[in-house]
Amino acid sequence: MSERMSVIQGDITHAEVDVIVNAANSSLLGGGGVDGAIHRAAGPALLAACKVIRQQQGECPPGHAVITEAGNIPVKAVIHAVGPVWQGGENHEAELLEQTYRNCLDLAAANGYRTIAFPAISTGAYAFPKELAAKIAVDTVYRYIGLRPLPEQVVFVCFDDENTRIYQQLLAQL
């Protein structure tokens, strides 16, 4: 078990970290699932910040991420990451999910953030198989932090029992 990685079950808007990751969609303009929960908790300032980025950069493609303020959520920033939609596994879904996690870690580190919380990106509406998504998340983070000082702590926030069990097992094997 890496001391720099942990899993908790709950709502990511309550995570006590420097930065939380949102599983956004390419529009960056809000959606359901964790995206909806984050926008509800953050209030309108978050959507306004996303709209500015959207106007500047256009849509955010799968694998990419952008960073904004956090509105009313008591963290320093929100990273909006667009995971891949599962289309059967032959469309670079695994690579894109790995890239999504790496881009989030890069953004956190570049901003000097020490602690980051991830949801199980792509495992809700985007239908990525949970076991595979968790393995990619845990392996990518483990490799990344093994080479770098930041982020110091990575928390996987699982909403459902199945993801919680899967992540607990994977972290126990490290």
Binding site members for substrate: 11-12, 25, 33-35, 122-126
**From CA 118, how far away is CA 116, in angstroms rounded?**
7
For ligand ADP, the closer CB: 5 or 146:
5
Instruction: Please give the C-alpha separations between residue 22 and each of 81, 88, 89, 159, 167, in angstroms, as whole numbers.
Output: 6, 23, 23, 13, 18
Omega of the bond leading into 151 within 30 degrees of 0 (cis): yes
Rule CB under 6 A: say whether 165 interacts with ligand ADP. no
Number of residues that bind ligand ADP (CB under 6 A): 21
Rule CB under 6 A: say whether 60 interacts with ligand ADP. no
35 catalytic? Reply is yes
Rule CB under 6 A: say whether 160 interacts with ligand ADP. yes
* Min dist. Cβ of residue 64 to ligand ADP (A): 13
Rule CB under 6 A: say whether 105 interacts with ligand ADP. no
In a 3-state reduction of DSSP, which class is residue 37?
helix
Please, is 27 exposed, middle or buried when counting C-beta atoms within 10 Å of its C-beta (0-12, 13-18, 19+)?
A: middle
Which tokens is 17 given? 């970290």
Sequence ranges of the binding site: 11-12, 25, 33-35, 122-126
Q: Which residues bind ligand ADP (CB under 6 A)?
A: 11-13, 23, 33-35, 37, 83, 119-126, 157, 159-160, 163
User: Which residues form the catalytic set?
Assistant: 35
